[in-house]
Amino acid sequence: MHDMGTSSGYDAPTTPDWGNLKGRVSRTARDGYVSQQSARNTLKGFIGTSGGARNISRGGGSIGGGRSAQNTARRLANFVSSVGAVGLRQALESIGLAEFVGKPANEILPSLVDKLGGPSSTINDVDARNALSRVMNDLLGDLETPEQVEEALSQIMEGEALESLLNQFFGYYLYEQFCRVFYERLAKSVGSSNADSYLSSIFDTIKSALEYITHDRDLSQIDWTGIEGQNIADQILQDTFEIFGG
């Protein structure tokens, strides 16, 4: 489940708060499975120790800095909005993927993730790209034709589900960050099987928590390339992380 992709391990800071969090994670991972309440408490500690939801959403914190996730989310939102407005063909052409017009979904998807994922020059960029890959696979992975892709993406705008999609992306980004910090440590201390089981519980807790976020923003007319798009992406990341506390 951890599926680290191209991401690598990370040596978290050696502050007392980080030391306490590492100890808690190692203890709760010994049996593999962890309850949702315990997982939520751990995620709250992880977000808080990393700088807090508000600070992280503004590009600060000890992990997740530089707005990598927000920038990826803005590219995703801009593309989905474009499909809703002008159709898949023009949306693909507008981001330089004209050669994939009319191609099967399994050919469109990898290049779409690559284009929307942006650079991979930092570990936070890689985490954001991995989170995007998860979101796009959930959304389009079972589809076959470009018409199905267009319908699925258009329905997001018609159903005002774009904010929910961005919540999902930021939740997956949180998971990728957590894996990067803890997987190698857990694999050594409790074994890879228990580590995978533990992280699966963390992932399930994140997905479950996202269902309780309420949405009250109309995102249909947002300029995702400008300051408005940046501010909204920052706020949605903050809202997503704050559901866990921290």
Instruction: Examine residue 9 and state whether it is found in any structural domain, yes or no.
Output: no
Instruction: Examine residue 165 and state whether it is found in any structural domain, yes or no.
Output: yes
Residue 8 has pLDDT above 70, yes or no: no
**Which is nearest to 169 in space by CA: 142, 140, 132, 202?**
132
What pLDDT sits at residue 5? 41
Please provide the DSSP assignment of 46-63 as one string. Answer: HHHHTT-HHHHHTT-SSS
Instruction: Examine residue 11 and state whether it is found in any structural domain, yes or no.
Output: no
Cα distances (angstroms) measured from residue 53 to each of 14, 61, 172, 219? 20, 9, 15, 22
The domain in which residue 68 lies consists of 16-242
Give the model confidence (pLDDT) of 11-56 as tens digits: 566 677 899 999 999 999 998 888 999 999 999 999 999 999 999 9
Q: How far apart are CA 75 and CA 57, in angstroms?
A: 17
Give the model confidence (pLDDT) of 48-91 as tens digits: 999 999 999 998 887 767 799 999 999 999 999 999 999 999 99
Angle, CA of 90, 95 and 99, to the nearest 5°: 70
Instruction: Examine residue 6 and state whether it is found in any structural domain, yes or no.
Output: no
Instruction: Examine residue 10 and state whether it is found in any structural domain, yes or no.
Output: no
What pLDDT sits at residue 10? 59
Give the model confidence (pLDDT) of 178-226 as tens digits: 999 999 999 999 999 999 999 999 999 999 999 888 888 889 899 999 9
* pTM assigned to the model: 0.93
CB atoms < 10 A from the CB of 29, how many?
25
**Which is nearest to 166 in space by CA: 70, 97, 46, 64?**
70
Cα distances (angstroms) measured from residue 110 to each of 3, 18, 152? 16, 36, 17
Tokens 């506390």, residue?
245
Give the model confidence (pLDDT) of 115-174 as tens digits: 999 988 999 999 999 999 999 999 999 999 999 999 999 999 887 799 999 999 999 999
Instruction: Examine residue 3 and state whether it is found in any structural domain, yes or no.
Output: no
What pLDDT sits at residue 7? 45
Burial of 133 (0-12, 13-18, 19+ CB in 10 A): buried
Token readout for 151 is 């319908």
Instruction: Examine residue 4 and state whether it is found in any structural domain, yes or no.
Output: no
Cα distances (angstroms) measured from residue 58 to each of 51, 73, 75, 159? 11, 14, 17, 29
| pLDDT-above-70 percentage for the chain | 93
- CB 70 within 8 Å of CB 128: no
DSSP, res 67: G
The SS3 assignment for 41 reads helix
Q: How many domains does the chain have?
A: 1
Instruction: Examine residue 2 and state whether it is found in any structural domain, yes or no.
Output: no
